[in-house]
């Protein structure tokens, strides 16, 4: 079973999002990293990138699969975790402790569109 946490919100595209004031921190869910398999590549968009709703904030690849990482919230990237590029395996090892980017939100009301733990659990149950 995939691990889910109470202290984060979720996106349908399998990111977790931690909201602190008007800053959102993004990572991949345990379910997503498990579906991808052992990651061998990761990159994040640079600080200063302006992200639209459902815009790309990074990419991950395992041996056989490639996937973009999305933000369901709009804003500007204020921090990017460049350490992922040299050690993508930390995403597999500790998905909820490994963040991709932090975004200063342009419209904090967009947070209401995110899934809570139960709604995300139902989503991955269906998949």
Residue the block writes with tokens 């579906």? 35
| C-alpha to C-alpha distance for 103 and 48, rounded to whole angstroms | 9
Q: Does 40 bind other proteins (CB under 8 A)?
A: yes
Single residue of 46, 47, 54, 63 touching other proteins by CB under 8 A = 63
| C-alpha to C-alpha distance for 101 and 80, rounded to whole angstroms | 4
For 68, the enclosing helix (H) or strand (E) is: strand 66-71
| Nearest distance in Å: CB 127, other proteins | 13
Residue the block writes with tokens 């990293």? 33
Q: Does 59 bind other proteins (CB under 8 A)?
A: yes
For residues 83 and 113, which CB has a smaller minimum distance to other proteins in the complex?
Answer: 83
Q: Does 38 bind other proteins (CB under 8 A)?
A: yes
Interacting residues with other proteins between 1 and 20 (CB under 8 A): none
| C-alpha to C-alpha distance for 63 and 16, rounded to whole angstroms | 23
Binding site for other proteins (CB under 8 A): 37-38, 40-41, 59, 61-64, 66, 68, 85
């Amino acid at each position: 079973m995939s691990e889910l946490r109470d202290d984060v919100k979720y996106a349908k595209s399998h990111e977790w999002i931690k909201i602190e004031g008007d800053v959102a921190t993004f990572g991949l869910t345990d379910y997503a990293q498990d579906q991808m398999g052992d990651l061998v590549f990761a990159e994040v968009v640079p600080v200063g990138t302006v992200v639209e709703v459902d815009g790309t904030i990074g990419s991950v690849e395992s041996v056989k699969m490639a996937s973009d990482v999305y933000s369901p919230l709009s804003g500007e990237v204020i921090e990017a975790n460049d350490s992922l590029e040299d050690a993508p395996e930390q995403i597999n090892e500790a998905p909820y402790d490994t963040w991709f980017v932090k975004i200063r939100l342009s419209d904090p009301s967009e947070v209401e569109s995110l899934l809570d733990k139960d709604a995300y659990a139902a989503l991955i149950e269906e998949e």
